[in-house]
Structure 1
Amino acid sequence: MKRILNIKPSRFSALCLGLLPLLICVVIYMIASDLRLEANPNDKLLPSFSQMGEAWSRMALTPNVRTGEYIFWVDTWSSLQRLLLGMLIAASVGLLIGLLTGALPLMGATFSPLITVLSLIPPLALLPILFIVFGLGELSKVALIAIGITPFIARDIQRRTQEIPIEQLIKAQTLGANTAQVLIRVLLPQLMPKLLDAVRLSLGAGWLFLIAAEAIASTDGLGYRIFLVRRYMSMDVILPYVAWITCLAFILDQVLALLSRKLFPWHVKGGH
């Protein structure tokens, strides 16, 4: 008899199995929503899918009477701008710090303890300080994302740099490469796909910092809208926004995975 441990589903079976829990959750929600609305048609805790569709249509397809803007898309664009800029800064700074501290022992001995200490500071605890220093504008929100993500990426790239076989560095130096050439032509190409992996892993934290910053001080954005309408218990707005944030996070993750496969096929084929 074949053990369950050795059973591997086909691609189609894996897709069906992956969708099954989601479908079960949808069915359970529909049943619970129908029961609550049947008992109280004005219940706001579990709105029906038709109610959520009407709310989404109102936010996404109907212009605001005061500004003429489509609120849903304005919120989406504002949040994506902040998230992408913060992640770009974090990736750039994290790559630079991780590469230098991982490849240069003097840099590692000097700055590794500082990076470790910074990674232990809860980024959300810095939010009031960022608001005081940078104000309530865009800079503080982007800074929170960058500060929160950079230590993680830096430590990951540092570790990945140290994992590269020392024989490669010795061969490059034997052929006459100087320090800058070793960093740029030997180490950096091997670290770029690992940087994309680190960014993918840190996307969840990036969204967390973004939503927190927008909830506290903002005039637009997905997080701002969710916390604005919660005072009215508008679950028909909150749930579609949460679902949309989840979809955006999934799309960004898949885009980064696609970039990794297209730009660094050797990394994927190597089993990473």
Structure 2
Amino acid sequence: MKKLINYKPNRTSNILLGLLPFAVLIMVYMVSSDARLAMNPDDKLLPAFSQMGESMYRMAFEPSKRSGELLFWQDTASSLTRLALGVLIAAIVGLFVGVLTGALPIFSAGFSPLLTVVSLVPPLALLPILFIVVGLGEVSKITLIAIGITPFIARDIQRRTQEIPAEQLVKAQTLGASTSQILVRVVLPQIMPKLIDAVRLSLGAGWLFLIAAEAIASTDGLGYRIFLVRRYLSMDVILPYVAWITLLAFLVDYLLSKLNRRLFPWSVEAQS
């Protein structure tokens, strides 16, 4: 009899085992929801799937009487735009700082301590300062995302840069390469796939900062809508929005993974 530790499920079993926890959670929710609604038809804590479907249909396909917009898609577009801009800024700054501090010892001595200290500052604690300095508009939300994840990306790129074999740098100098040529032609090509991996790992924190900023000061966005309807205990809106955010986070991570494989297949092969 094969020991459990040696059992490796096939592809079909992998899929079924992966779906099993989700099916169990859905069944538990449905049973709990039916039980609560049977006792109190006006219960809002665990709405039925039909109630959530009706609410989301109204928000996704019926224009708002106040603004005339489809709120669900407007919230999604606003949040994704803020997240994309914040992450893009963080990736550019993190790449620049990480490569310089990782490849040039003089920059590492001068800026690594500062980078370490900045990475320890809770970004949400800076939110009131951002609101005071740049106001309550889009800039504050994008800045919070950028400030929140830039230190993580920079430190990861710094570490990855330091892992590049010194022999490569010595050979490049032997061939007459200048410092800028070494950074651009030797270091940067090897770091770019690592940058995409660092962005993928930082997206969870990016979503957190986005939702927090939208909840405090915004007029649209996924985080704004969740915190707006919570005062009415509208779980039929909150739960679908949370599920939608989770799906978006998964899709963004999946697309970045595919992009990494397409642009840098050699890196993926080396890792495997």
State TM-score, norm by structure 2.
0.99
Give the corresponding residue for 1:222. 222
Q: Distance in 2 between matches of 1:210 and 1:96?
A: 23
Shift of 1:210: 0.2
Partner of 1:151: 151
Partner deviation per Cα, 1:72-130 (whole Å, 9 max, x = no partner): 00000000000000000000000000000000000001000000000000000000000
* Deviation of 1:6 (Å): 2.6
Cα deviation, residue 251, structure 1: 0.3
Give the number of aligned pairs: 272
Structure 1: state its 5+ residue gaps: none
CA distance in 2, matches of 1:260, 1:35: 47
In structure 2, give the amino acid aligned to 1:52. M
Amino acid at match of 1:14: N
Residue 146 (structure 1) shift: 0.1
Deviations 1:24-67 (A, max 9, x none): 00000000000000000000000000000000001001111222
| 3-state DSSP of counterpart to 2:9 | coil
Query: Which moved further from structure 2: 58-67 or 248-257?
Result: 58-67
Spell out the pairing of 1:177-256 with structure 2 (5 A cutoff).
177-256=177-256
Matched residue type, 2:234: S
Q: Distance in 1 between matches of 2:255 and 2:16?
A: 23
**Which ranges of structure 2 fall in alignment gaps of 5 or more residues?**
none
Counterpart in the other structure of 1:82: 82
Q: How many Å apart are 1:4 and its aligned residue?
A: 2.4
Paired residue type of 1:64: S
Give the Cα separation in 1 of the matches to 2:126 and 2:152. 16
Measured after TM superposition, the shift of residue 271 of structure 1 is 2.1
SS at match of 1:32: helix
Amino acid at match of 1:218: S
Q: C-alpha distance in 2, partners of 1:45/1:78?
A: 28
AA of the residue aligned to 2:119: S
Q: Distance in 2 between matches of 1:60 and 1:183?
A: 48
The alignment's C-alpha RMSD in Å is 0.8
Q: Which amino acid aligns with 1:67?
A: S
Matches within 5 A, 1:87-102: 87-102=87-102
Taking the aligned partners of 2:204 and 2:104, their CA distance within structure 1 comes to: 30
- The residue type equivalent to 2:174 in the other structure is T
Partner deviation per Cα, 1:121-169 (whole Å, 9 max, x = no partner): 0000000000000100000000000000000000000000000100000
* Runs of 4+ in structure 1 over 3 Å off: none
Query: Which residue number in structure 2 is paired with residue 64 of structure 1?
Result: 64
Distance in 2, matches of 1:3 and 1:152, equals: 42
**How far, CA to CA, are the matches of 1:80 and 1:13 in structure 2?**
35
Q: Distance in 1 between matches of 2:266 and 2:225?
A: 43
The one-letter amino acid paired with 2:178 is N
1:105 aligns with 2:85: no
Matched, 1:73 2:73: yes
- Equivalent residue, structure 1, for 2:168: 168
What amino acid is aligned across from residue 215 of structure 1 in structure 2? A
TM-score of the superposed pair, with normalisation by structure 1: 0.99
Partner of 1:25: 25
